[in-house]
Structures are given as C-alpha cells and as structure tokens.
Amino acid sequence: MEFRRFSYIVVLGSLAFLAYAVHDSRTRREEGADADTPVAFISQVVKANKNWVPNDTVTGNILAANFAQGQRDWKMANYYIDKLNNAAASDATTQLRMMLLAVSAGQYDRAAEYAHLIQSQPKAANDEAGQQMDSVVSDGRDLASLIIMAQAVRAGDLASAEARLQSVESTALRAFIEPVISCWLRAGQNKPVDGNTNGLSLLQALHRGLAAEWAGQKDTSNRIFDALAKAPLTSVGSMMVAAYDIRNTRAEQARAALTAALKLNPLDQDAKKMLDALSQGQSPALRPEFSYHMKGVTAGVAMAFRDLAQMMIADRSNESALIFAQMGRYIRPDVPGLSILVGNIFADQKRYDEAAAALQSIQPQDLDYVDAQIRLSELKAEQEDVSDATKILESLMQSNPSPRVAFALGEIYRAEKDNKKAVTAYDQAIDAAGGTPDDSLWSIYFVRAMALDELGEWDKAEADLKKALSYRPDDPHVLNYLAYSWADRNVNLVQAREMLLKALVMAPTDPFITDSLGWVYYRQGDYTQAIILLERAVSLKPYDPVLNGHLGDVYHKAGRTLEARYQWQRALDYADHNKDEKLVAEMKAKLEGKSEAQEK
C-alpha cells in the first residue's frame, strides 16, 4: 500500500481568495471607489482617538469592520458587521462575510445562521463584479455547507451531516476534507468504513483506522494499522500505531511499533516504559489522549478538523486554520490540543484577550488543562504581567505538580533575570521527574546551566551542560555554549574548537557559533583565522555588541588599532546600557586605552 502527502495548496489559496474577495468587494460596491483610502483614513483616526466610532451607517460599519478585519480583530469586526441593517444583510456576499467573521470569532450559532441564509440564496450570483463574485459565492456556499455539517454532527444528525459533506462542490476542498470526516460519519451510521489506503495521505488513513476501531470493524482497522506500521512514520506516528495495538491486545505488533519509535527517539521514556511493560507480560498504560477518539463520532470529527487545521498552520495559513479549528471546537471543545491551537493562532495575531479566553475555556477535567495553564502563563509573561504569570504556575504546582509546570515557572524567572528562583524551580522539576527528566524535558539541564552560570556557579553549570549533551550530543546550541564558555575561560581550547567545528557544520549561518569559533582561534593566537570568522559573524549579525566587541579585540591584537577602536565604539553604541553594564564598562575602558581591559 502506498501513501501520499495530500497537496492542498489550492484549498488554502481558495480560502484566502474567498476572504480577500469578500473583504474587498463589499466596500467597493458600497463606496464605488478604492477601499484603500477610506480604510487608511479610519486607521489614522482610530490611532489619533481610541474612543472614535464611525457613524452608525451601512458604509461606516462596513469600513470599520474592514479595518478591524485587517487588524485580525475578529471580535470587533464581528461587532460592526452585526450592526448592518437587514437590507445590507440580504446580500449573499455580505452574509458570507458575516459568516466568516462569526466563525473566526467562535460565535458558532451566528455562523450557522448565516450559513443557512447563504445556502438559501440562488446559486447564480448577479453581481456587477461578474464571474469573480460567482466564484466567491460558490466557495462561500461550500464553506457554509461545512458549517451546517458541523452543526448536524454536534446535534447527532449524521445522515444530514453526510449529505452536507457530499454537497461540497469544490473538488480540491472536498478531496482535502472528505477522507478524514466521511469515515466517521459512516461509522456513526453503522456503515462499513473503507479499508483501502492506496492513494491516501497518512492522516487520511489514520482517521479511517480510528473510525473503524471505534465502530468495532476490527478487520478493517487492523488492515489499516498494519499498513501504517509499514509506512515511514515519525516517532509520534509510531506511538499512535503502538497505542492501537495495545488497545487491541496485539502485543507483537505493539512491540515492533515501540521499537520503531525508540529508533527515531531513543530517549522517549513513555516508549521505554511501555516496551518494558510488554516484556513483563503486562498491558502498558496509555496516555488518555491516545484513546480520545473512542468517545465517538463527535470526538472523531472534531479531531479531524483539528488535524486539518494543524496542516494549514504548517503551511502558514493561520486564518484558514482558525476557521477549521473553530468548527472543531463547535462540535466538541474538549478535543486535546484544539483550544490551545486556537489560542496560539490568536496569540500570533496579537489578539491576547481572545487567546486567553480560548485557553481559559479548557476546564480542570480536560486533558489539556495543565498545558493550557502553562501557555496562559506564558502569554501573561509576554505581556509583561509577570506577577499573574507566576501566580498561575504556583497555583498549578499546588493542584497539578509536575516537572513541566516547574520547568515553565523556571523559564519565567530566568527571563526576568531572577536566576536564583529559576534554579530553585528547575531543581523542583528535576526532583519531580525522579532525577531523570524524559526526552521532552532534556533542555532543563541546559537552561539551568545558563542560570547557574549567571550566578557565578560555573562548576555546577559545566556539569549541567555535559548532562544536556548526554541527551543531545549533536545539539549545536549546547555545543556552542559549553565550547564558548571554555574559550572565554581560556581552557580546553582544542576540544572547544572540535565541538564548534561540529556545531558549525549543523548551523553554518549561525552568527554566535561563528563568533565562538573565531574566539577560540583568538585564544589560540591564530589572529588571521579569528579575523575571518569574526568578520563573518558581524556580517551575519551587524548590531550585536558582543560580536562587535570581539572583532575589536582581535583587530587590536593584529595591530589594526583604528579598526579596533571603531568596533569597540560600535559595541558601545549597540549595547543596552541598563542591561549590559559589564560590557559597557569594558568597552569604555578599552576606548580609554586601559591595557588591562584590552588584554582581557
């Protein structure tokens, strides 16, 4: 059986065109002019007066909604579009725009209301924009069909949902969506799930297998998962195959899948524990998210929307992904990863209130609760609300103590330069992990090393860096940190050079690794080679004060005094005088000609 990676660029292009066309055409038809000028005017007025609101007219509300949509402020755009009068709302393209804004904002009932209105419109669109608008309305009808389908799935009317899915006219959109959703709709109606995987993507085959498993069609699900086991999978994919085999008491197949997962990720503690349990004749414990699909059709279809949205995010189509993810939340909001995905999209769009609301919708009994609280604390920290961020995590440590929570708390403290508290939190994380963090937390040794280094406890920091390298011997950033630290202390220079040459092969355009290698040559007295590398580092990152300072030092050693002073002055100019006090003092001393500073 052969699998393929489904090409859905045309789907994303269609959705993007749809959003643009609806955004653009309504203003053009209302104003009879280019929309850029009035929208730019609104932008200027709003910036000048935050309390300004447009006149309560059709045109004013449309322009305000245009501006809000351009800012990806779905809530505000939806507010203004909702103020349109009934005469304007009777137009198919206005209804389409209302539907898009409503579903993006998570206002599902209103989105479904507009979807039904769009479906009731005649298929032939009479619009002065001509054929382009025919395409827009046609694509809009397809999206309306999906929203109505989601409404039917939520209500348990699977026959109607299947009919809506079949009514999608776009060949590309239907080919993208149907294989991962129709299998669930068929399974829910006691219809046989197609066990053929030829020509399917891995995701499409996976959903067929999961749907067949839930429906009790074991011959079909076994056939699909046997095919998946032979395909090139990621470690996560192998774990999902192993979970299926464990649920269905297929010990030998599970052992093979877990072995494959460990080959891809040798430090996966979950895979190790599961393999050990099988070796002892026991049934391994599975993480709850691996069996979430067994909750039924609503779970399966909502998972399908989540997975399709994640594929869109991978291709940087966040706005289309938001529409699909919100439809999944409408069907079933407790799907693992779904509300966090929506929160992350809003955060990327700088819509922090909406992001927080999505994360806060996850309840303590939900599988994602701990991850959601951690992400919420990160958002608070990004908005410089460190007090609330730490309170969230400290409270979480009381109710759900775990290495991940302690690690997240340490990261916030380290970002705030409170390295002592950061180290304490990292210590808690390692203790909570039984002294051996799993592969997902290997970097705790790296970040603790950086905090210890800032506290002047180099011996402990060095030990942590070596521990981090035992997890990731080829990580260029860990190699760089340890090697540079040695070079800065003028020790282990030969080993440091070997490590940095290795790191540079993996990250040839990294300015900091390039700088570190140049610094090693500087310490070894090879100023010619050091200049070549340090000049390249500065060319890669021209405004970094440390890199400019290093280049000045090697110019000074090579007798190029004027150039050295120029680089030291650049370093001083680019330094943050509030945070880089030590570097500022050193640059000033060098510019003043103090030999001790110049020899450092």
Choice among 10-14, 78-82, 225-229, 263-267 with the minimum mean pLDDT: 10-14
Confidence at 37, pLDDT banded by 50, 70, 90 = very low
Task: Map residue 438 onto helix, strand or coil.
Answer: coil
Stretch 166-178: mean pLDDT: 89
Rounded to the nearest 5 percent, the helix, strand and coil shares of the chain are 75, 0, 25
Q: Which residues of 3-35 are buried (b: 16+ CB within 10 A; e: fewer)?
A: beebebeebbebbeebbebbbbbbbebbeeeeb
Contact between 496 and 487 under an 8 Å Cβ cutoff? The reply is yes
The reported pLDDT for the residue numbered 86 is 47
Confidence at 65, pLDDT banded by 50, 70, 90 = low
Which parts of 469-571 are beta strand (E)? none
> How far is residue 187's CA from residue 215's CA, in Å, rounded to a whole number?
6
The reported pLDDT for the residue numbered 72 is 59
Q: Which DSSP letter does residue 391 get? A: H
Asked whether the predicted pLDDT for residue 30 surpasses 60, the reply is no
The reported pLDDT for the residue numbered 370 is 94
- Is the sign of the CA dihedral 272, 278, 282, 287 positive or negative? positive
Asked whether the predicted pLDDT for residue 50 surpasses 80, the reply is no
Choice among 19-28, 174-183, 198-207, 358-367 with the minimum mean pLDDT: 19-28
Query: How crowded is residue 345: how many other Cβ atoms within 10 Å of its Cβ?
Result: 24
Q: Which DSSP letter does residue 289 get? A: G
Contact between 326 and 108 under an 8 Å Cβ cutoff? The reply is yes
Contact between 471 and 442 under an 8 Å Cβ cutoff? The reply is yes
The reported pLDDT for the residue numbered 53 is 46
Q: What are the CA-CA distances from residue 424 to residues 418, 430, 483 (Å)?
A: 10, 10, 26
Of residues 386, 393, 391, the one with CA closest to residue 372: 393
Q: What is the pLDDT of residues 74-122, one digit of tens each?
A: 566 666 666 654 444 566 777 787 888 888 888 899 899 889 988 887 7
Query: How crowded is residue 201: how many other Cβ atoms within 10 Å of its Cβ?
Result: 19
Confidence at 480, pLDDT banded by 50, 70, 90 = very high
Encoding tokens for residue 250?
Answer: 């297929």
Contact partners, residue 59, CB within 8 Å, separation at least 6: 30, 31
Stretch 393-409: mean pLDDT: 92
Stretch 195-204: mean pLDDT: 89
Q: What is the pLDDT of residues 141-151, one digit of tens each?
A: 889 999 999 99
Rg of the Cα atoms in the chain: 29
Asked whether the predicted pLDDT for residue 11 surpasses 70, the reply is no
Asked whether the predicted pLDDT for residue 132 surpasses 60, the reply is no
Encoding tokens for residue 203?
Answer: 């995701």
Asked whether the predicted pLDDT for residue 457 surpasses 80, the reply is yes
Q: What is the percent of the chain where pLDDT is above 90? A: 61
Q: Which residues of 433-443 are buried (b: 16+ CB within 10 A; e: fewer)?
A: beeebbbebbb
Query: How crowded is residue 326: how many other Cβ atoms within 10 Å of its Cβ?
Result: 26
Contact partners, residue 39, CB within 8 Å, separation at least 6: 27, 63, 66, 67, 70
Torsion angle of C-alpha atoms 338, 343, 346, 350, degrees rounded to 10:
-160
Q: What is the pLDDT of residues 206-249, one digit of tens each?
A: 999 999 999 999 999 999 999 999 999 988 899 999 999 999 99
Highest-scoring range by mean pLDDT, 124-133, 429-438, 541-550, 587-596? 541-550
Q: What is the pLDDT of residues 331-386, one digit of tens each?
A: 999 999 999 999 999 999 888 989 999 999 999 999 999 999 999 999 999 988 99
The reported pLDDT for the residue numbered 432 is 87
Length of the chain: 600
Single pTM value for the model? 0.77
Mean predicted lDDT score pLDDT of the chain: 84
Q: Which residue has the higher pLDDT, 515 or 27?
A: 515
> How far is residue 184's CA from residue 523's CA, in Å, rounded to a whole number?
65
Q: Which residue has the higher pLDDT, 14 or 428?
A: 428
The reported pLDDT for the residue numbered 580 is 85
- Is the sign of the CA dihedral 269, 271, 272, 274 positive or negative? positive
Confidence at 317, pLDDT banded by 50, 70, 90 = confident
Stretch 301-310: mean pLDDT: 95
Confidence at 532, pLDDT banded by 50, 70, 90 = very high
> How far is residue 246's CA from residue 241's CA, in Å, rounded to a whole number?
9
The reported pLDDT for the residue numbered 59 is 55
Domains contained in the chain, CATH given: 9-169 (1.25.40)
Contact partners, residue 41, CB within 8 Å, separation at least 6: none
Stretch 117-140: mean pLDDT: 62
Q: What are the CA-CA distances from residue 139 to residues 15, 305, 395 (Å)?
A: 8, 18, 47
Confidence at 44, pLDDT banded by 50, 70, 90 = very low
Asked whether the predicted pLDDT for residue 33 surpasses 90, the reply is no
Contact between 358 and 342 under an 8 Å Cβ cutoff? The reply is yes
Choice among 47-51, 80-84, 285-289 with the minimum mean pLDDT: 47-51
**DSSP per-residue string spanning 401-437:** --HHHHHHHHHHHHHTT-HHHHHHHHHHHHHHTTT--
The alpha helices in 280-317, defined as continuous H runs, are 297-314
Asked whether the predicted pLDDT for residue 34 surpasses 50, the reply is no
In Å, how far from its chain's centre is CA 256? 31
The reported pLDDT for the residue numbered 77 is 64
Asked whether the predicted pLDDT for residue 8 surpasses 50, the reply is no
Q: What is the pLDDT of residues 562-593, one digit of tens each?
A: 999 999 999 999 999 888 889 999 999 999 98
The reported pLDDT for the residue numbered 593 is 84
Of residues 372, 366, 437, the one with CA closest to residue 407: 437
Choice among 16-20, 440-444, 456-460, 593-597 with the minimum mean pLDDT: 16-20
